[in-house]
Each structure stands twice: as structure tokens, then as C-alpha cells.
Homo-oligomer: A and B are copies of this chain.
Amino acid sequence: MSAQEAGREPVGGGSEERVARAGLSRCVEPGDQAARWALEALGAPRLWELLKGSAPTEQEHSNFASVAEREMGVEPDGQLSERQQTGRALLAGLQRWLPRAVDAWPEQDMANAYQVNGGFLIPEDPHWPRALNVLGDAEPLGLWWRGPGLPAWGAEPSLSIVGTRDPSPYGVHITRQFTGQLASRGLCIVSGGAIGVDVLAHAAALEARDDGSTDCATLATVCVLAGGVDRLYPSSNGRLLKHLATKQLILSEYPPGSQPTRWRFLARNRLIAALSSGTLVIEGRWRSGSLSTAHHAAELGRWVGAVPGPITASTSEGPHRLIREGSAELVTRGEDVLAALGWNVQGTLDLGEPESERRPTDGLDEIEARLWESLPLSRAVEVNKLLGVAGVGAMEGLSALQRLRRKGMAEQREDGSWRRG
């Protein structure tokens, strides 16, 4: 993704749509269906007015109900109880969103993002990552960002690398190995900035690019947080996250100041899954959060890979579970990832078997192989004895021996006996 000197100011300025979505991003949790219906029925600016105290009109209620009924698949002549349900959904939604709207000051949030060298991106912006469209109803209202600039999304391939917060020494090793190999091939590595595999992946991506400068052509890594971009959580990763905020890119759908919570981590995982062409799970326990990222990716039709490990390690339970379920492909090499995604960037793929595994009998037919294996290692053998040991007839055997001779694998001595070539 080419980093661009895109708008230091909130791209497109503080339009009504942008301010409204910024405000809504504080009040509405991801996955709130009623909010999605209201957005379609009323538009973001009017929905934001309702949250600031305006009351919905009869017509707006009706518009909302139409969207809700269409989405729920309720027939126009449907059950009264179902129609009442959709009618109530807007009121229940407002009840959820209003308490937070009291404390929502989107212009201030946008100023705060600007203060930390960022902004607020909405779907109509040219720099919106189109990869998120795949989320449909679960697309975020907007993206708070922080970094030197916004990339030209999709220009270069990206891979999400996720895993446990508590990797084994093996997990640490393979995170570094995979990330380093793939980042040096030009892949942008997406992760969640958490301790453990996430932060190792970010760091290894940076190291592989050996940049540290802002004027590199492409992003090495993108971090998607579950709290505000001004709160570099967890603080133990503060130094690295600060570096990412300065030189790479940090994203969040929650406004500045937001606290990460368990459900926000889970919701955030869908963004990590959607932003990349594929997701690689390194290590994780049976119910690791990284499995939720993998499941999101699989549901979105994205490729998912998982790295196996010892069955005696609980940290490999997650990857093994994904592979057993058929949700993930077993991956042992960076080349497996590149091949699965059809990428072959900055270098040639070698997917053949290891050189060390080639055998002298490769390429021989069965008769030739049996004769060659029946030749003693250090002495010559009489031809009839050789044919008997190999269980090969004279006619087929003599011509196979000549073929072995031409390949330099067998030698006939003057007395007619044969030895290895």
C-alpha cells in the first residue's frame, strides 16, 4: 500500500455526514442492526439529530419500519406482532444510543484525532479501504486513523497475522519467521497490536522492511485497535504502537478516548479479517480470540491458514481445531501462503520438495529401481544372480541394466558381472 500524503486534516473536511458518523461512532456498537436500518432509512445526519434530542416523525418511523421489515423478511401483510417488533426496534435503539449521545462531541473527537496526527475516514472517502465492503451490514460507520498518511488500499497484497497473547518459544520463533519472510516479499502485515503474536508480527514486519523512515513507498504493517487511536493499548506495547502511529498506520472504529472491552476486541477482529486477502493463525488456545478472526475471514470468503505445532502444547489447540474443522489450511512455509493466495512477489516460489529428499532412484522405472537396489554397494555380482534377487526376467532385466549403464548408475565389468556406477 503506497503511503500517501493524504489529508492531514480530516479528509473532505468536517462535512455534515462526517460529523454525524463521528458522533454515531461513539454511541453505536458494531453489529447493532437497528442502527444500520436507521442509517439507511434516515441517513447519518438525521439519525445524529435524533440522538441530539430531536424526535422522529411519523414518516421516519414508517421509513425505518420499511427497511427493518425488508431486512427481516417480514411480508407487508405479515403478523401484527412482527410489524410491532420492527416499530419498537427504533425506539429501543434510541434508548441504547441516547445515554451515550449526551457525552458525544464529534467535532472535539475529530480535533483530538488531528492532534495525534490522524483523522476520521468515512465510506464515501476515496481513501476508504474498499476491502471492508465485504462486511455488508457489519461495515463500520467510519474509521479513526493515525499515521503519516493513508495508503492506496488494495494496490499491494496484505496478510493478517494473529495469535495468542501468550506464545510459546516455538510460537515466537514461527511468528518472526513467517512475518519476516512474507513482509520481505512485500506483503503488508495487518494485526491487532496486542501483546504476544500481534506485536511480534508488527515488529517483524518493520524489521523485514528495514525502514523506520516515513518515505518508504509502501506500508509494512497496519494495526487495528479495539479502543481509541489516541490510547495506545496495551501500554506494555506503547513504544512499538507509538512507532506505528508515527511511521505506519493505526486504525479503529471507536473514537478517541474509547476504552477497549472484550466485545470490542471481538468486533475489531472482523476488521482485521476483512482488511486482508488472508489471515494466518500462528498459535492460540482452544478458544483464542484469534480463532474469531479466522472464522470471520472464512465467513467472508477470505483464505485462512493455520500453523500446526506439538499436540502437547495448548497453544497449538486453536490452529489444530481450525484445520480439523476445515476452516483453515495447514501451513508450514511462507511459500504455502504465497501459493494459496496466488502471490509471487519479489522472488521466485520454490514449492518443490526439499533438495535433501531427492533419491537416486527418482525417475527410474520399477524394474530399473529394483535392479539398482539389488546391486551390492561395493562389489560386482553375476547377472543371473542379480536378476534372481531383483525378481526380474532376463529380457526386461538386460535392457533395464543397459539403461542404468547409460545413466551412469551401473557398470558392467569385463567378466560380464555388474556393479553400481
Contact = CB atoms under 8 A, between A and B. Distances in A.
A323 interface: yes
Contacts of A369: 263
A92 B286 contact: no
A387 interface: yes
Interface in A83-121: 92-96, 99-100
Contacts of A310: 170, 308-310
Interface stretch (A48-56, A214-222, A390-398): A390-398
Nearest to A94: B393
Interface stretch (A8-16, A179-187, A237-245, A353-361): A353-361
Interface in A201-246: none
B393 A95 contact: yes
A152 B394 CA distance: 43
A324 interface: yes
Chain A: number of interface residues, binned into ranges:
35 or more
A21 interface: no
Interface in A167-184: 170, 173-174
Contacts of A332: 311, 317, 320, 324
Task: Name, among A32, A324, A330, the residue most crowded by chain B CB atoms within 10 Å (CB to CB).
Answer: A330
A29 interface: yes
A370 interface: yes
A125 interface: no
